[in-house]
Structure 1
Amino acid sequence: MDIGRLRTLREFADRGSVTAAAEALHCTPSAVSQQLRALQAEVGLPLTEQAGRGLRLTDVGRALVARADDVLAALERAEAELDVYRSAPRGRVRLAMFPSAALMLLPGLLDRFATFEGLDVDVADVDMTPPEVPRLLADFDVVVTHRDEYATPFGAERLQVVHLLREPLDVALPIGHPLGGRERVELGDLAAETWISVDVGFPVDDVLRSVAIRTGVRPKVVYRFNDFRITETLVASGHGIALLPRYTMDTGRVLRRPLAGIRAARHVEAVLRLGAPRPAVSAVLDALRTEAAEMGSE
């Protein structure tokens, strides 16, 4: 089977439409359709079927995508073996990070990347929910994401997941708050408070909802912002309280208090496609592990 056609099939599977695959491959939708038809003719079985105005993969198509991952990963391993003969990791690596991970890890990461001559790392901050992560791998080599520790881990199918750290989530209170004198606070003590959270579906809100389910206390969320610096400013100004990540919370502006009686945290993970990563990607993963370890975990 033609390697280029297998790549086209994988792009179509990852992106969900002929048009999106064409944009990623820098060609026309008709060229993508032609490649898919040609691959189908090679296989002798239907790989796609009509779904409304578009196409979707058949069971055969999905099975072939999984095998295409194996074939393309084998080619990447061959390229990686050649790279071993080079003195240092080289090439371009595309890295996506959710914004607060970039705030926490990126300054140190950039220092580490600078020690590798010939390694170029393109970094993008992407506000992502866990279901969006697999699709992001169509555009990035490594995606740094986060999830509620009570959530189902990412599936192993077509993904490699590298745990970086467990980051506790603490309650942010305005300075002078009546509960600020306590070492820990109960969620029940905060039942009457105005809460600020992130958009529904993002991990910090998932953690807050998980805590609410386990305690029976439902927080009254009246504002939602995905930028934690905005949330900190509002908390500092007395407009509410919030559940925020421990390692990037500015304790000069707000009080940080752990929740009592329950574990509240998010897991920060690096996700990439299955297969032996090339040395440049391995160097980025090693830098992520080292930087995360220095942040500390519980």
Structure 2
Amino acid sequence: MDIRRLRVLREFADRGTVTAVARALSYTPSAVSQQLRALQAEVGVPLTEPAGRGLRLTDAGRALAVRADEVLAAVDGAEAVLDSYRSTPRGTVRIALFPSGALLLLPGVLRRIGREHGMGLECRDIDMTPPEVPALTADFDVVVTHRDDHAESFDPSRLEVTTLLREPLDVALPLGHPLAERERIELTELAAERWIGVDVGFPVDDVLRSLAVRTGVRPQVVQRINDFRVTEALVADGHGVALLPRHTIDNPRLVLRPVAGVRAGRNVEAVSRRGASVRPAVRAVLDILLAEAAAVTSE
């Protein structure tokens, strides 16, 4: 099978539309469709089927996309063999991080990368939900993301996941709050509080909703703010309470207290396409992320 056609199929599996694949590969949409048809003729079974105005993969198409990952990973592995003859990893690694993860990890990661000769890091902060992560691996070598303790893990047949850390989520209170002197706070004691949450679908909101299901206490969310720095300012000024990540927040105007009787946290993970870590530079970045995660959680 033609490697280029397999790459087009994988891109279609990740991006979902012919137009998106064409944009990513600098093809015309008709060229993408032609490559998919040619691959389908080559294998002798339908790989796509109509879905509204577009296309979607058949069961055979999805199965071949998984195998395409393995073939393309093998090709990448062959290229990595050549890289392994160099004394140090080389090249630029593209990395996307969710904003508060970048706040926590990126300064230290860039310091560590600066000690590696011949390596560079191209970084973007992206406010991502877990369902958006697989598509991001099409554009980035490594995607640093977060998910609720109870959220479903990523598909191991197509993605490699490196667990970096589990960060507890604490209740953030303003100085002088009646509960600020407690070591731990029962969620029922916060029933009357005004909460500052994040957009629906993001991990911190998932945690707040799962706590509500398990305790029967429905939080009153008065604002939804995704930027934790803004949330810090609002809580400090007395506009509500919030769940904030323990290791990321360092604000002398706030008091952080764990929730009693429940596990509230987010899992911070580095996600990449299967086979990507064969490339020495990507492996080096994953090792650096692990080292920095260990450093920030030990402080």
TM-score, normalising length: structure 2:
0.97
Question: What amino acid is aligned across from residue 233 of structure 2 in structure 1?
Answer: T
- Give the counterpart letter for 1:155 in structure 2: D
Matching residue of 2:51: 51
1:295 paired to 2:275: no
How far did residue 282 of structure 1 move?
A: 0.3
Question: CA offset at residue 182 of structure 1?
Answer: 1.1
- C-alpha displacement at 1:295, in angstroms? 1.4
Q: Distance in 2 between matches of 1:58 and 1:157?
A: 17
Residue of structure 2 in register with 1:145 after alignment:
145
| Contact 2:232-2:251 at 8 Å conserved across structures | no
CA distance in structure 2 between the partners assigned to 1:77 and 1:296 by the alignment: 33
Aligned to 1:185: 185
Deviation of 1:214 after TM superposition, in Å, equals: 1.4
Q: How much has 1:152 moved relative to structure 2? A: 2.1
1:173 & 1:269 partners in 2: Cα distance?
28
Displacement, 1:91? 1.1
Aligned-pair distance for 1:101? Answer: 0.4
Q: Which residue of 2 aligns with 1:283?
A: 284
**Pair 1:70-2:75 in alignment:** no
- Which runs of 5 or more structure 1 residues have no equivalent in the other structure? none
Specify the SS of the correspondent of 1:178.
Answer: coil
- Rounded Cα–Cα distance in structure 2 between residues aligned with 1:46 and 1:192: 57
* Residues 239-258 of structure 1 mapped to structure 2, 5 A cutoff: 239-258=239-258
Query: In the alignment, is residue 262 of structure 1 matched against residue 249 of structure 2?
Result: no
CA distance in structure 1 between the partners assigned to 2:9 and 2:296 by the alignment: 40
Aligned residue for 1:88, secondary structure, equals coil
What is residue 173 of structure 1 aligned with on the other side? 173
The secondary structure found in structure 2 opposite 1:183 is coil
Cα contact 2:49–2:58 (8 A) shared by 1 = yes
1:247-287 superposed Cα distances (whole Å, 9 cap, x missing partner): 12133121111111111111101111112520000000000
1:266 & 1:77 partners in 2: Cα distance? Answer: 33
**What are the residue-to-residue correspondences of 1:224-243 with 2, within 5 Å?**
224-243=224-243
Work out whether residues 187 and 217 of structure 2, in 8 Å CA contact, stay in contact via their aligned partners in 1: yes
Matches within 5 A, 1:105-144: 105-144=105-144
Alignment-mate amino acid for residue 172 of structure 2: A
**In 2: Cα distance, 1:150 partner to 1:59 partner:** 28
Q: Work out the CA distance in 1 between the residues paired with 2:260 and 2:33.
A: 57
Q: Aligned to 2:179, what secondary structure does the other structure show?
A: helix
Query: What SS does structure 2 have at the residue aligned with 1:247?
Result: coil
* Alpha-carbon distance in structure 2 between the residues aligned to 1:215 and 1:90: 51
Secondary structure in 2 matching 1:180 = coil
Deviation of 1:184 (Å): 1.3
Please give the per-residue CA displacement for 1:163-211, whole angstroms capped at 9, x wherever unaligned: 1001010011011111111111111111000000000110011111111
Name the residue aligned to 2:24. Answer: 24
CA distance in 1, matches of 2:224, 2:120: 36
**Percentage of pairs with the same residue:** 70
Distance in 2 separating the partners of 1:43 and 1:152: 33
Contact 2:235 2:241 (C-alpha < 8 Å) held by counterparts = yes
Q: Distance in 1 between matches of 2:5 and 2:45?
A: 15
Structure 1 position 34 matched with structure 2 position 10: no
CA distance in 1, matches of 2:155, 2:27: 32
Aligned equivalents of 1:5 and 1:91: distance in 2? 26
- Cα deviation code 1:131-153 (max 9, x no counterpart): 11111111111111111112222
1:95 alignment counterpart? 95
CA–CA distance in structure 2, aligned partners of residues 104 and 169 of structure 1: 14
CA positional deviation for 1:125? 0.5
User: In structure 1, how many angstroms separate the alpha carbons of the residues matched to 2:32 and 2:85?
Assistant: 36
Q: Which residue of 1 aligns with 2:274?
A: 274
Q: How many residues align?
A: 298
**Aligned counterparts of 1:263 and 1:251: Cα–Cα separation in 2:** 23
Give the CA deviation at 1:30.
0.9
- Structure 1 residue runs of 4 or more that deviate by more than 6 Å after TM superposition: none
Q: How many angstroms does 1:48 deviate by?
A: 1.2
SS in 2 for 1:196: strand
SS of the residue aligned with 1:106?
Answer: helix
